A and B are shown apart, each in its own frame.
Chain A
Amino acid sequence: MDEFIRVATLHEIPPGSAKRVEAAGRKIAVANVGGAIYAVDDNCTHEDQSLAEGPLMGEILVCPRHGSRFHLPSGRVLSLPAVRPVATYPVKVEGDAILISLEGRPGQGMPHKR
């Protein structure tokens, strides 16, 4: 099923910020990178921690607990201590509404290779 669910509005997530949303029992971090919206699993692949609570630096979301960095477009993990990429979700923006598909894709890429 390629269904997109509305999870938030652009208003709620201004550029340079990220927010946790819940959809179908899953916790997802939605981030606004200068107008482009990305969605990833809201759980650091290192330890239980919401990524949405961490700073957003450009296209990179930083886990607030130990600084693991994730590249939002690909889910690639860019720095340890996390060693697994984070799953990404396709995003559609319609007007002010942010919709995501729950067909998540596993993230691709490790810190020192694509």
Chain B
Amino acid sequence: MAATNPLGVELDHYKWGFRDPEKYVFKARKGLDREIVEMISSMKGEPEWMRAYRLHSFEHFTRRPLPTWGADLTRIDFNDIYYYLKPTDGKGHTWEDVPEGIKRTFDRLGIPEAEKKYLAGVGAQYESESVYHNLKEEWEGLGVIFLDTDSALREHPDIVREYFGTVVPPEDNKLAALNTAVWSGGSFIYVPAGVRVEIPLQAYFRINAEKAGQFERTMIICEPGSYVHYVEGCTAPIYTTDLLHSAVVEIVVKEGARCRYTTIQNWSTNTYNLVTKRAVAYRDATMEWVDGNIGSKVTMKYPSVYMVEPGARAEILSVVFAGKGQHQDPGAKVVHAAPDTQSSVVSKSIAREGGRAGYRGLVKVYPGAVRSKSAVRCDALILDDHSRSDTYPYMEIEEMDASVVHEATVSKVSDDQLFYLMSRGVSAGEAMNMIVRGFIEPVVKELPLEYAVEMNRLIALEMEGSVG
């Protein structure tokens, strides 16, 4: 049994803390302790093993220190967060509570009324019912499972159990331990062998799920020969008072399968966005991460691909934008653990108004990963003299028959380019926009069309006032 149970957590070790869970009256409160973890599990009606796993992870979280590198996380007060159940004090948010800046952005991005309210957390679920139902029939017919992770655990516990924690174990880092203890929501996607899901699956389509949970746990399993493209997040700013967003995404791409995961993140500028995203790619499998980081006060996330069998490939594209008060520390990790594997990383970052944008990456080549090739390219635009751009690429090469290259440049928008465009009658602001759009184009062109359009509009918005 233990051989197929990767969790290995001893159930006996984690007995119930109180005698009669169903009858316990729980009051919503801030902070995290064993009792809250037990209540989360109990309220969700989870199987024993998940409850024990949560408790094991919670204990690890309490012992594990924060990372000593990256952005400054020392100001996060883990006790100032509601991990489960916020108090209902009778005062929900209303549209009036939403900050003006956010409302204006919605207008400029051309987002329809109902969606605005949904995104601002003040309205009913975004009504995409009919669209959703048609799509749902189609993928269910193919045998594709696409649910929120809580439902997946209830309806497909065996599959969840087989994969949960096998790509990101709770002891991986402190935030992974936290997520494993308190996770709620997220997407679960299972694509059977040979099935190609042609339309991108989007988090939007998950009815009955929180729109943007703090501690989402997403799992994607692609059986051999399958294909799926999952899109999460949106360019519109998520208005939330949540301080911390700490998600975990685990992806398994088996033989000959391909998975693309697109994220556009525009969390409000008081949020810490700390995410562990990792994929493992088997023989001839391909994993693609496309990442847009625009919002949040602090982002630390390093989408990773572990290529463990011959022919596996990884591609990681990211656009990073850091404005006033923001510290974006994203990156990429590629691990070559088998022959004939290839990886390509392209990072485009823009820093302005005192923002700090970075790239932190790892290329690791194990002995035996012969004929592996890796190419990393990081370009940074720094738009004024009080912003900051960092690049920290680590290359650890233990195989002589491998080729690893890395290039990075940092510069400002060249005066020559600006002048040229302006001499053709383009305004200074629009010239700047065009140049920046061209700069990020290699990544943006990989986004689904409507996102690309929104992304360009959003960058233009963010850039306002950056010339002159």
A residues contacting B by CB (< 8 A) are 57-60, 62-69, 71, 73-74, 76, 78-81, 83-84, 110-113
Within residues 133 to 176 of chain B, which ones have a CB less than 8 A from any CB in chain A? 163, 165-173
The 7 lowest CB-CB distance pairs between A and B, nearest first, are: A67-B171, A67-B169, A60-B8, A57-B8, A58-B2, A78-B6, A59-B2
Residue of B nearest to A73 (CB): B3
CB distance from B344 to the nearest CB of A (A): 20
Flag if B169 contacts A79 (CB, 8 Å): yes
Tell me the complex Cα distance, A67–B166, Å: 10
Whether the Cβ atoms of B172 and A66 lie closer than 8 Å is yes
- In whole angstroms, what is the CA distance A112 to B220 when docked? 13
Summarize B's interface: helix, strand, loop or mixed.
loop
- Kindly provide the distance from the CB of A60 to the nearest chain B CB, expressed in whole angstroms: 4
17 pairs, A vs B, C-beta closer than 8 Å: A57-B8, A58-B5, A58-B8, A59-B3, A60-B2, A66-B172, A66-B173, A69-B169, A71-B2, A74-B3, A78-B6, A79-B166, A83-B308, A83-B366, A84-B366, A110-B308, A112-B254
B248 at interface, CB cutoff 8 A: no
Q: Decide: B172 and A67 in contact? CB cutoff 8 A.
A: yes
Give CA–CA (A113, B252) in the complex, Å: 11
Residue pair B167, A79 in contact (C-beta under 8 Å) = yes
List of B residues within 8 angstroms of A58 by Cβ? 2, 5, 8, 10
Partner of B166 from the list A57, A64, A66, A80 (CB cut-off 8 Å) is: A80
Q: Which residues of A contact B163 (CB under 8 A)?
A: 112
Contacts of B166 in A (CB 8 A): 78-80, 111-112
Flag if B280 contacts A57 (CB, 8 Å): no
Residue numbers in B under 8 Å from A111 (CB-CB): 6, 166-167, 252, 280
Beta-carbon contact of B278 and A80 below 8 Å = yes
* Residues A71 and B3 in contact in the complex (CB < 8 Å), given A57-B8, A84-B337: yes
Chain B's closest residue to A58 (CB) is B2
A20 to chain B, nearest CB (A): 19
State the CA gap A112–B162 with chains docked (Å).
8
**B428 contacts A by Cβ under 8 Å:** no
Asked if A80 contacts B168 (CB within 8 A), the reply is yes
Contact with A along B1-17 (1 / 0, CB 8 A): 01101101110000000
Query: Do B169 and A80 have beta carbons less than 8 Å apart?
Result: yes
B335 lies within 8 A of chain A by Cβ: yes
A83 touches B280 (CB 8 A): yes
Q: Least Cβ distance of B55 to chain A in Å? A: 13
Q: Once the chains are docked, how many angstroms separate the CA of A64 from the CA of B170? A: 11
Give the nearest-CB partner of B308 in chain A. Answer: A83
- The reply to whether A83 and B254 contact each other, CB–CB distance below 8 Å, is no
* Residue ID in chain A nearest B10 by CB atoms: A57
**18 more A-B contacts (CB under 8 A) besides A63-B171, A79-B169, A83-B306?**
A57-B2, A59-B8, A62-B8, A62-B171, A64-B171, A66-B172, A66-B173, A67-B172, A69-B8, A71-B2, A78-B6, A78-B166, A79-B6, A79-B165, A80-B169, A110-B282, A111-B6, A111-B167
